[in-house]
A = this chain, B = another copy of it.
Amino acid sequence: MMEYTRLTTLEAVNGLTIKELDYRIDGKGNSIGCLLYHMACVEEVYQIITFEERDPTEEELLTLEVGLSLGGNAHQKIYGRGIEFYKERLNLVRERTLEGFKIKEDSWLDEVSPFGPNHSANNYFRWFHVFEDELNHRGQIRLIRKHMERKEEGSL
């Protein structure tokens, strides 16, 4: 499911230019580039949480925060990059995820631990959550891309 999700994410951004990756609807909200960057950051955090069984350190959060939080400032820091930049980040993080999975037993997926202040979850849910977040943003990418194409055609 994670791999299928990624395939469709990459299809959704195929051929985009730097300018298009930085495009924001009405100059607000997230760019496609920011959403791709976010996906890689989310996956990295869940590697730390599930493989190393700890929360990210302050130092790690400094690097990851801009990609995790999105919204306000992300587009001021994540822009001017070509599609290869985002693809490389996604691929690199995914490689480490697959390596992590390899050394875990299937029973590890069922291990339950706290999830946020009020819930608990097993590792299966946590990785479901990683790709359900990606699918959510893939939908947004498709919508932003369509909006941009309408702008480019002059039909908006």
Contact = CB atoms under 8 A, between A and B. Distances in A.
A29 B146 CA distance: 9
The dominant DSSP class at the A interface is helix
Nearest to A129: B4
Interface stretch (A61-69, A81-89, A107-115, A131-139): A131-139
A140 interface: yes
Counted per complex, copies of this chain come to 2
Contacts of A155: 28
Contacts of A5: 132
Contact of A139 (B4, B28, B128, B140): B140
A146 B25 CA distance: 11
A21 B131 CA distance: 27
7 contacts: A1-B128, A26-B147, A28-B155, A136-B136, A136-B138, A139-B143, A143-B143
